[in-house]
């Protein structure tokens, strides 16, 4: 990556997408079969996408491998995104599969600087699912969409044989318009930029684990699923062009999101573990299971990199919003060691923070 520029990254014009302009990856996908780890959001997922899927569909927009595809359409910067939800159980403290589907798609657009304008939803229903369960999930999706201020304008419904879908799967597609204030991209970060986090991490992943009954642990912990646009809007207003990059650290957690940012770049990220907001319940569960909280999934938190001179204003803007009271500056961008994420521990040492490896918590979204 290089020094910041004063102009935002220029979106590709959808009419000029050229497969030849995006050379196919030279990597080969050599895994003999697909494992659950390939869907966990960590190294295996990245390998699957980069060496098998992306080369087949190669084009400059896809090559960005961002949360949403941003391109120019008729002179307007448009963002689109699609996601599939297979979480088990369907309902859990703080949310459900339908609420996740709406919020997750809205948030993928939001961290790309775009406010959602419309959603489409496809329901894959397993035969035998009680109608009351489906009715409740549809109502939940409608309420989540209303809360996010976006209509669900279409979709599809399929029913598959009993035993084929674990009750219900949901896929969503979203389209939004990129805010004119947004000037985002990994190529805009510079040494000295601050790393902000909107609140406590790990709530969603540990809540799903507890909801499955995999851990004998009594707590009132609940998923953090929520729409993130209010936080994005506040940062755009407080930081202007000083807002460099955003990401919602879902599968793979904070560690994977930050590694993806600096991977192959000339920058490093240095964070302080003590500054990372973390509830005692999540800390306890992670210590019990030997998990790194930085790898645990979130569905309502956001990472943002901002210029040093606007960091205080950005934090104040986040903390002024409901749910943003624990927003924190957890680190900064440095020049070395390039391409790595380093954490200062509570004991004063340092450690390398790697991307998620394996699949510690399957089907969390």
Q: Is 160 strand, coil or helix?
A: strand
Q: Residue 2's pLDDT band (boundaries 50, 70, 90)?
A: very low
Comparing 155 with 356, the larger pLDDT belongs to 155
Condensed to tens digits (0 to 9), the pLDDT of residues 24-44 reads: 445 688 999 999 899 888 889
- Report the pLDDT value the prediction gives residue 11, as an integer from 0 to 100: 53
How would you classify the pairing of strands 168-178 and 76-85?
Answer: antiparallel
What is the gyration radius of the CA atoms in the chain, in angstroms? 20
Q: Residue 19's pLDDT band (boundaries 50, 70, 90)?
A: very low
Q: How far apart are CA 201 and CA 256, in angstroms?
A: 13
Per-residue pLDDT, averaged over 310-321, amounts to 98
Q: Is 350 strand, coil or helix?
A: strand
pLDDT surpasses 70 at 107: yes
Q: Residue 306's pLDDT band (boundaries 50, 70, 90)?
A: very high
Q: Rounded to the nearest 5°, which phi and psi values hold at 310?
A: -120, 5
- Report the pLDDT value the prediction gives residue 41, as an integer from 0 to 100: 85
Whole-structure pTM value: 0.91
Beta carbons within 10 angstroms of residue 312's beta carbon: 13
- Report the pLDDT value the prediction gives residue 26, as an integer from 0 to 100: 55
**Contact present, 11 and 77 (Cβ < 8 Å):** yes
- Report the pLDDT value the prediction gives residue 48, as an integer from 0 to 100: 94
Condensed to tens digits (0 to 9), the pLDDT of residues 49-67 reads: 999 999 999 999 998 888 8
Per-residue pLDDT, averaged over 219-230, amounts to 96
The pair of three-digit structure tokens given for residue 361, joined into one six-digit string: 């918590």
- Report the pLDDT value the prediction gives residue 20, as an integer from 0 to 100: 37
Cα-based distances in Å from 104 to 153, 251, 270: 17, 11, 27
Q: Where in the chain does DSSP place strands (E)?
A: 12-13, 69-73, 76-85, 91-92, 95-96, 114-126, 152-160, 168-178, 194-197, 243-247, 268-272, 303-306, 328-334, 341-344, 350-352
Condensed to tens digits (0 to 9), the pLDDT of residues 134-168 reads: 999 999 999 999 999 999 999 999 999 999 999 99
Q: Residue 218's pLDDT band (boundaries 50, 70, 90)?
A: confident
pLDDT surpasses 60 at 231: yes
What lies within 8 Å, CB to CB, of 73 at 6+ separation is: 13, 14
The pair of three-digit structure tokens given for residue 350, joined into one six-digit string: 């340092």
Q: Residue 83's pLDDT band (boundaries 50, 70, 90)?
A: very high
Q: Residue 221's pLDDT band (boundaries 50, 70, 90)?
A: very high
Q: State the chain's mean pLDDT as an integer.
A: 91
What lies within 8 Å, CB to CB, of 350 at 6+ separation is: 342, 343, 344
- Report the pLDDT value the prediction gives residue 5, as an integer from 0 to 100: 38
Per-residue pLDDT, averaged over 212-222, amounts to 84
**Contact present, 336 and 234 (Cβ < 8 Å):** no
- The share of the chain scoring above pLDDT 90, in percent, equals 82
**Contact present, 295 and 364 (Cβ < 8 Å):** no
């Amino acid at each position: 990556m290089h020094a910041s520029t004063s102009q935002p990254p220029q979106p590709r014009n959808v009419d000029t997408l050229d497969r030849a302009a995006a050379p196919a990856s030279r990597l080969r996908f050599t895994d003999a079969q697909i494992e659950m780890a390939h869907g966990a959001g960590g190294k295996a997922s990245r390998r699957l996408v980069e060496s098998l899927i992306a080369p087949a569909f190669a084009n400059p927009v896809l090559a960005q491998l961002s949360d949403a595809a941003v391109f120019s359409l008729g002179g307007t910067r448009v963002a689109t995104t699609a996601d599939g939800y297979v979480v088990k159980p369907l309902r859990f403290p703080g949310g459900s599969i339908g609420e996740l589907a709406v919020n997750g798609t809205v948030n993928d657009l939001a961290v790309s600087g775009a406010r959602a304008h419309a959603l489409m939803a496809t329901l894959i229903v397993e035969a035998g699912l009680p109608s009351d369960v489906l009715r409740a999930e549809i109502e939940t999706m409608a309420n989540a969409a209303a809360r996010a201020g976006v209509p669900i304008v279409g979709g599809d419904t399929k029913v598959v044989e009993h035993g084929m879908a674990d009750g219900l799967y949901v896929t969503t597609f979203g389209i939004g318009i990129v805010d004119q204030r947004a000037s985002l991209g990994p190529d805009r970060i510079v040494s000295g930029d601050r790393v902000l986090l909107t609140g406590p991490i790990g709530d969603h992943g540990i809540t799903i684990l507890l909801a499955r009954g995999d851990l004998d642990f009594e707590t009132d912990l609940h998923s953090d699923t929520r729409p993130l646009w209010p936080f994005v809007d506040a940062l755009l207003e407080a930081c202007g062009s000083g807002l460099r990059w955003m990401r919602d650290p879902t599968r793979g957690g904070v560690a994977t999101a930050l590694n993806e940012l600096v991977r192959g770049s000339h920058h490093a990220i240095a964070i302080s573990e003590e500054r990372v907001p973390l509830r005692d319940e999540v800390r306890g569960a992670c210590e019990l299971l030997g998990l790194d909280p930085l790898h645990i999934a979130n569905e309502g938190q956001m990472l943002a990199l901002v210029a040093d001179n606007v960091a205080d204003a950005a934090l104040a803007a986040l903390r002024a919003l409901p749910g943003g009271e624990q927003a924190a500056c957890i680190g900064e961008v440095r020049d070395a060691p390039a391409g790595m994420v380093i954490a200062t521990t509570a004991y004063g040492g340092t450690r390398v923070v790697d991307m998620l490896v394996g699949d510690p918590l399957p089907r969390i979204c």
